[in-house]
Structure 1
């Protein structure tokens, strides 16, 4: 089942809605409907108008979040970074980028672009409300004035929140860019991530006594800082090696016309959980344990590998860096890659191969 659905494109970038966004949409609308002004529409009559304004404000808020992410993406694209997509989800939006620019000045501009867009939206909405209400005093008592005030205020808060110096917020990237001008990129990431973890612990302790929601945010920040530190270290260390140096060259394969039952026995005997599917000299796809685990035992004899294999093959070249292969695995959330040269299968690279290389490098 797909967790995200494409709803359109902006600046050539696919925009997706995550299923969690659909869950949070009515929650935000409810919060706006029960809160008193100036942060909600409680008391607005008729009740249907209250709900309509709350829902519209929620939708416009996520449009603002989308514009925030587009700010990042626009600057990133100007530096040649490929943007896979922008996804709106439970905690806001996220831009899926090929990689973060390593040049400190570029990362600084890219990181600040999002909060800058939020500040501009907030200032424009609040400024427009001020000007119109000065010219037409009655406007200050309208629901439109209240809605723009709410959106303006939240965008200012959103911009400030994202400037907190902790991953995965934009402020963490700004802090890393500042450090990276003075030290190596790995060390800069480590320092910025460590600062973020300390910040998260302090926020969690504060939330323990004052607001339980801060504990959840602190956990989100701590995990984000840890993951950024880990993934950046892995990517940079693996840049020194090529796929051909660590791939498995003697690749076991299976034909497409054997049954799933035979495949399961083959997996058990050879102790691997994924195999390329080859017919003659032609690569047809890849099949993994994930593909067979939902097949009922009684159906395994009648179901062929060709029925369940993945035909959309994600591959790398033996001349790609191990770091590039790691990024491909991470972006596509897969555990192994076929290594192909001139349409010929020459090897297979698993996440275990990369992790084993990392362990050797750290010894």
Structure 2
């Protein structure tokens, strides 16, 4: 099931709404409608105006979040980084970048661009609130410049929150960029991630006594720091190797005309959970254990591999780095890649192969 819906493109970058964003949208509308000024529109009459202003404020708020992410993306594109998409999520927005540059000054500028945009928007809106409240007091509905105040204040808070020195916030990348000027990139990432984990632990502890929401945010920060540390370490260490160095060359394949039941027995015997589907020397697709699980046991005798295989093949070349292969697996959330050279299948690379290589490198 698709979890994100594309709503358009800006600067050639696809913009998506995640299902979690659609769930949180009415919550924000409700919060703004029941809170008293200066953080909400409770008491605004008629009631339809209350809800209209709450909805408009919510939409504008997430537009500001989108602009925050475009701040990152604009600077990243100037350094040649490819932006896959920008997705609005439950906790805000995220730019899916090909890879953050490892030049500390570039990473610093990319990381700070988002909070900078939030600060500019926040200060501009607070200025508009002050101007309208001073000049048009008595002439304009107070709820109009109240909206400026709410959005301005939240943008300032958003900018400050993202400067917290912990992954996955922008402050964690700023901290890594500072460390990276003084040590290796792996060590800089490890130090910045460790700082983020410590920060998350203290925030969670604070949440036990004051606000349970802080525990949820702390968990989010701790996981983000751990994942950044692990993925960066893996990516850098695997850059030393090419796919041909660690792939499996003697590839077991299956023909498209065998049944799913026969495939299941083959998987059980060979202990492999994924196979390329070959018809003669022609690569037709790939089939995995996940494909089998979607077929009821009684239907497996009459269902062919050709009926369930994936025809959109994601592959790498033998000369690609193992690090690039790892990124392709991560971006596409798959466990194995076919290795193709000049249209011919020459090997297969699994996530297990990469992890085994990492274990040997760490010894």
Matched with 2:87 is: 87
Matched with 2:102 is: 102
Q: Deviations over 1:20-61 (max 9, x none)?
A: 111111111111111111101111112222112111111111
- Any conservation in 2 of the 1:20–1:89 contact (CA below 8 Å)? yes
Go from structure 1 to structure 2 and tell me whether the alpha carbon gap of 1:139 and 1:183 turns closer, same or farther (over 3 Å shift). Answer: farther
- Residue 157 of structure 1 and its aligned partner are, at CA, apart by 0.3
- Any conservation in 2 of the 1:115–1:162 contact (CA below 8 Å)? yes
Secondary structure at the residue paired with 2:161?
helix
Alignment of 1:283-298 (within 5 A): 283-298=283-298
Q: Deviations over 1:264-312 (max 9, x none)?
A: 1111111100011111211111110111101111111221111111111
Matched with 1:324 is: 324
- Residue 138 of structure 1 and its aligned partner are, at CA, apart by 2.6
Go from structure 1 to structure 2 and tell me whether the alpha carbon gap of 1:38 and 1:140 turns closer, same or farther (over 3 Å shift). Answer: farther
- 2:271 pairs with 1:271: yes
Q: Deviations over 1:168-211 (max 9, x none)?
A: 00000000000000000001001111111111111111111111
Matched with 1:227 is: 227
Matched with 2:351 is: 351
Residue correspondences, number: 363
- Any conservation in 2 of the 1:317–1:340 contact (CA below 8 Å)? yes
- 2:73 pairs with 1:73: yes
- Structure 2 Cα separation of the partners of residues 129 and 182 of structure 1: 44
- Any conservation in 2 of the 1:118–1:156 contact (CA below 8 Å)? yes
Secondary structure at the residue paired with 2:138?
helix
Alignment of 1:7-26 (within 5 A): 7-26=7-26
- 2:204 pairs with 1:215: no
- Structure 2 Cα separation of the partners of residues 212 and 155 of structure 1: 23
Matched with 1:37 is: 37
TM-score, length-scaled by structure 2: 0.98
Runs of 4+ in 1 over 6 A off after TM superposition: none
Matched with 1:246 is: 246
- Any conservation in 2 of the 1:133–1:139 contact (CA below 8 Å)? no
- Structure 1 Cα separation of the partners of residues 53 and 303 of structure 2: 53
Alignment of 1:22-171 (within 5 A): 22-138=22-138, 141-171=141-171
Q: Deviations over 1:192-241 (max 9, x none)?
A: 11111111111111111111111111111111111111110110111111
Matched with 1:203 is: 203
- Residue 140 of structure 1 and its aligned partner are, at CA, apart by 6.6
- Residue 139 of structure 1 and its aligned partner are, at CA, apart by 5.5
Matched with 1:259 is: 259
- Any conservation in 2 of the 1:132–1:139 contact (CA below 8 Å)? no
Higher mean Cα deviation, 282-291 or 106-115? 282-291
Higher mean Cα deviation, 93-102 or 49-58? 49-58
Q: CA RMSD in A?
A: 1.0
- Any conservation in 1 of the 2:6–2:17 contact (CA below 8 Å)? yes
- Residue 141 of structure 1 and its aligned partner are, at CA, apart by 4.4
Unmatched segments (≥5 aa) in structure 1: none
